[in-house]
Amino acid sequence: MEVQTRLQGLLLAALFAALTFVGAQIRLPMVPISFTLQVLFVLLSGNLLGSRLGGLSQLLYLFIGLAGLPVFAGGGGLGIILSPSFGYLCAFPVAAFVAGKNFPVARVEMNNNHHRGKILVSVLLRNCFAISVIYVIGATYLYFIQNLYWRVNFSLHQVLWFGILIFLPGDLLKAVLAALITERLTFKNHDKKLDFLNFFLYTIY
């Protein structure tokens, strides 16, 4: 039973690694970072799978890309390390872990109408904190890779604008959307419950 549970967890982690790849392909080219839907699936991986599996799914995504498969918005392979966007990719496992914090409690209490609003707000706040983690790690890497490696005169003002502010409205929208999706997939409404884990595992089996 324990082996089966671990296998199910790995399957779900692989699923969200694949979904993050799909999100990377839906992009709007911008300078120097592309706007994609990756962050939405990073947040959902933590919200729906929890810290451990959510973080694992993003580590898997990162390793697959570094191994050479073109799963990132900018392709794949070790060369992506020199990309301005690599810091954001490195932040994905940490962000998923943060977004999945207190996952078991949230799933239980989400099924209680009294706690529904409180847990929804809690998930949203965790998502916003997870996004801030992505910004801190990603923008820091962006500044140093541009100035120290590429020798581009990239000011802190440019980092703030091109690395954070230009993406902030869209990412906040993704945080809200991820929280709402999580609520819909885990909340018991009039004795009808769509449990994401059980629903997906039932589908594949």
Q: What is the pLDDT of residues 159-183, one digit of tens each?
A: 999 999 999 999 999 999 999 999 8
pLDDT of residue 203: 44
| Cβ atoms within 10 Å, residue 123 | 29
Of 19-33, 157-171, 179-193, give the range with the top mean pLDDT. Answer: 157-171
Q: What is the domain count for the chain?
A: 1
CA distances from 97 to 36, 111, 121, 156, 199 (A): 20, 22, 18, 28, 23
- Whether 18 is covered by a domain: the verdict is yes
Residue 11 has pLDDT above 90, yes or no: yes
Looking up residue 103, the CATH number of its domain turns out to be 1.10.1760.20
Judge residue 27's burial from the number of C-beta atoms within 10 Å of its C-beta, 0-12 exposed, 13-18 middle, 19 or more buried. middle
- Whether 163 is covered by a domain: the verdict is yes
> pTM value?
0.88
> Contact, 192 vs 185, CB < 8 A?
no
Give the pair of three-digit tokens for residue 184: 């819909």
The sign of the dihedral angle between the CA atoms of 170, 176, 182, 188 is negative
- Whether 181 is covered by a domain: the verdict is yes
- Whether 205 is covered by a domain: the verdict is no
Q: Domain residues for 58?
A: 2-200
Tell me how far apart the alpha carbons of residues 13 and 10 are, in angstroms, rounded to a whole number: 5
The number of CA neighbours under 13 Å toward the Cβ of 139 is: 20
Give the pair of three-digit tokens for residue 182: 């999580």
Q: Give the pLDDT confidence of 40-92 residue by residue, as tens digits.
A: 999 999 999 999 999 999 999 999 999 999 999 888 999 999 999 999 999 99
- Whether 131 is covered by a domain: the verdict is yes
Residue 129 has pLDDT above 70, yes or no: yes
